[in-house]
């Protein structure tokens, strides 16, 4: 007579870089676009291990290069990683090894398995997404190329891991 309603939790991904102004917001914009096109409902966010840019928009160069490829940065605001993020997100995806070390320093032991390098989701020689902040447009384009590649791999992993029978 009465049916128990089971609330399904959305799969969630947090992308992390140092300042949350270049790489991680780019990953958020790309992954949001790719997840939507794959028909996946995923909670996606980004943050930085450094809190110097809280509340600001991502770097204008990241936005410009990303928008040229059709990615939307309008609702993205920079924020700092919080300890509660490790409980809230299924994946905490770092852009480089320094980000991983910084995350492990604040992450409770029981959630450390959620931390991964972005490039671990694809077969590429690069293991890290380089910080394009001090470079030119080509550096930002290269970062986009790497994030697009790794995002495809992460999408496939999520499809397999969270497949509903």
Q: Which residues are catalytic?
A: 17, 23, 131
Alpha carbon distance 48, 80 (integer Å):
5
Alpha carbon distance 30, 59 (integer Å):
15
Give residue for tokens 């809280």.
54
CB 26 within 8 A of CB 66: yes
Which ranges of the chain does DSSP label H, i.e. alpha helix? Answer: 23-37, 60-68, 85-88, 97-106, 137-161
CB 62 within 8 A of CB 140: yes
């Amino acid at each position: 007579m009465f049916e128990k309603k089971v609330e399904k939790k959305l799969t969630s991904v947090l992308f992390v870089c140092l300042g949350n102004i270049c790489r991680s917001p780019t990953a958020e914009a790309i992954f949001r676009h790719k997840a939507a096109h794959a028909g996946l409902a995923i909670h996606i966010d980004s943050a930085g291990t450094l809190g110097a840019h809280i509340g600001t928009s991502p770097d204008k160069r990241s936005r410009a290069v990303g928008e040229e490829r059709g990615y939307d940065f309008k609702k993205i605001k920079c924020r700092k990683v919080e300890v509660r993020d490790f409980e809230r997100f299924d994946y905490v995806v770092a852009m480089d090894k320094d980000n991983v070390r910084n995350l492990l320093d604040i992450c409770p032991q029981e959630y450390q398995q959620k931390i991964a390098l972005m490039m671990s989701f694809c077969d590429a020689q690069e293991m890290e997404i380089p910080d394009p902040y001090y470079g030119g447009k080509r550096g930002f384009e290269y970062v986009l190329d790497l994030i697009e590649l790794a995002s495809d791999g992460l999408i496939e992993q999520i499809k397999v891991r969270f497949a509903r029978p």
